[in-house]
Amino acid sequence: MSENDLRPSVWVGHIVLESDRLDETAKFMQTIGMRTIFPGPGVAVFELRGGTHLVVIAKDKVAAGDAPFDLMVEDLHATHRQFTALGLEPTPIEAAANMPHEFFRVREPAGHAITFYSNHVSGQPV
């Protein structure tokens, strides 16, 4: 890492989500803006901003609930409008408790609720 590189020296490499509907979940991830890296049988890998990869693993049974991660977008209100237009049925935008941010949730095909937060990066290089 160069002295001139002001970004943090570490980042999240992989996050994982299990799905009993791999093809539908993969299409959903593309629809919300992720880049397909590996569309294989039993697993699909998607790239997010910053180089993080979402690994979706096929399972026979999945318990629906909150996703084990959340996502952040540049313009929460525009994203909410876009997801509504796409028929993804996002929840209403809410203020986050104890932090100056807003969020909404969208349920992906396997039943996981993914929370989308407004941008709250520090303003420093990331």
- Residue 123 scores a pLDDT above 80: no
Q: What is the dihedral of CA 21, 114, 53, 62, to 10 degrees?
A: -30
Q: Determine the average pLDDT of the residues in 28-32.
A: 97
* pLDDT confidence band for 120 (50 / 70 / 90): confident
Six-digit token string for 26: 């993969």
In the chain, the N- to C-terminal Cα span, in Å, equals 13
Provide the whole-model pTM. Answer: 0.91
Q: Which helix (H) or strand (E) holds 104?
A: strand 102-107
Structural domains present in the chain: 14-118 (3.10.180.10)
Strands 66-73 and 35-40, how do they pair? Answer: unpaired
| 3-state SS, residue 45 | strand
- Residue 3 scores a pLDDT above 90: no
Q: What is the pLDDT of residue 6?
A: 85
Candidates 26, 24, 12; CA nearest to 72 is 12
* pLDDT confidence band for 50 (50 / 70 / 90): confident
Instruction: Give the model confidence (pLDDT) of 87-105 as tens digits.
Output: 999 999 999 888 889 999 9
